[in-house]
Amino acid sequence: MAAQLVNKVPLAPLGAGDLIDRAVRLYRRHLFTLIRIAAPPVIVSAIGWVLLGIVWRSVFVTPSGALLALYFFLAAMGVALVVGGYIFSLIVMGGAARNLVTHLLWNEPVSVRATYDAVRLRFWGLLAATLIMAAWVGISIMVALFGWYTVAVIITVGAVVSAQIAPAWLSALIGITGFIAATVVAFWLFFFFVGRVAYVPQVMLVEGKRVFESVGRSFSLARGNLRRLMAMTLFVGFTFYSALMILVIPLGWYGYVNGIDPSPWNATEWPAWYAIGYGVLDPLSRILLAPVWILGLSLLYVDERVRHEGYDIELMASRQLGSMPELNVVSPYAPAISVDPRRLAPPPLSSSGKMLGL
């Protein structure tokens, strides 16, 4: 009965608060499974951060040229592991999308095996999609910074001009207001552009499309998702740093009691155990919080299809009339869970008769 209450929601688009609430409740239901899904790539990047922490602490005090060369090699290995871990995390997030969406729609079980089977079958496509998404995020950051700089320059010129004819407090008020306005514009531009590619992994794994088709499909689905994507990102970011502080502060207190300066600027003076512990805390926080982000994007994907394509009506018809025939048609007229070109078979119909299991 509890599982039915969690999954059963009205057949209506969900707001930002509803999406966050649904993601948190699903996270609580599948906590340990989601942690096991998110853990392997984060462990890879954690090893890289530990290597970089050891190198940073030792490279400036080593007296030997051979050891210096070894530290540079370890630093290169650490960077490779960190970058590879982050890329692998995005790939696993894409693989988890199909498993989570089938759970949301058909109440299929969430499992580590199903996620990594999806990753294995579409690995190279997911890798290409991840690189495209990373490049697009870089472009979005540049656009956001340009927008911030443009607004900041205009406001700064206005503040300087007003300082010649108005009180100092008015110029300061204009400057503060301008800084806030520039920051708001930068955030809006960033989320407006980065939201265009938010659904690429879901489209690839759920609808069975190829990489560039998935990018175009994500662009078409991402209309009007700005506020909900921003709310989800801010929620996950705030929760992540809250969890990180909960872990960092006790470690810092313990180190301070034992005569260690916990300031990151003195990292070269930290003992090995403290440097390793500090380097592990960020990946540990990501293991705990990454599933919320995965769930949030999967819920957003389903909600976008409900808003733009009547996905809920399609699901009701499929449950009442059986599966749609496998026709070579273009979404939104394709089946709810299409057959993947790499033979990712669609899940069987659920016997529970639930409607849009969000």
CA distances from 338 to 199, 204, 239, 347, 348 (A): 16, 10, 35, 10, 12
d(CA 53, CA 81): 13
Within a domain: 11: no
Name the residue type at position 48.
Answer: G
Within a domain: 14: no
Within a domain: 20: no
Would you state the pLDDT for residue 139?
92
For residues 225 and 300, the answer to whether their CB atoms sit within 8 Å is yes
Q: Rg (Cα) of the chain, in Å, rounded? A: 24
Would you state the pLDDT for residue 136?
92
Residue numbers of the domain that contains 297: 32-318
| Phi and psi torsions of 59, nearest 5° | -65, -30
d(CA 274, CA 255): 7
Within a domain: 349: no
Looking at the structure of the chain, the number of domains it has is: 1
Name the residue type at position 288.
Answer: L
Within a domain: 198: yes
Would you state the pLDDT for residue 344?
42
Instruction: Point out the residues of the chain with pLDDT beneath 70.
Output: 1-13, 61, 105, 264, 267-268, 311-358
Within a domain: 15: no
- Is the peptide bond between 332 and the residue preceding it cis, with omega within 30 degrees of 0? yes
d(CA 180, CA 176): 6
CA-nearest of 186, 187, 216, 189 to 203 is 216
Within a domain: 228: yes
Query: Which pLDDT tens digit goes with each residue over 220-253?
Result: 888 777 888 888 888 888 888 887 788 888 888 8
Query: Which pLDDT tens digit goes with each residue over 187-225?
Result: 888 988 988 888 888 888 888 888 888 888 888 888 777
Tell me how far the alpha carbon of residue 59 is from its chain's centroid.
33
Within a domain: 323: no
Would you state the pLDDT for residue 328?
53
Structure tokens at 228: 């909900």
Would you state the pLDDT for residue 322?
53
Would you state the pLDDT for residue 15?
74
d(CA 33, CA 356): 22
CA atoms in the 13 A half-sphere facing the CB of 278:
24
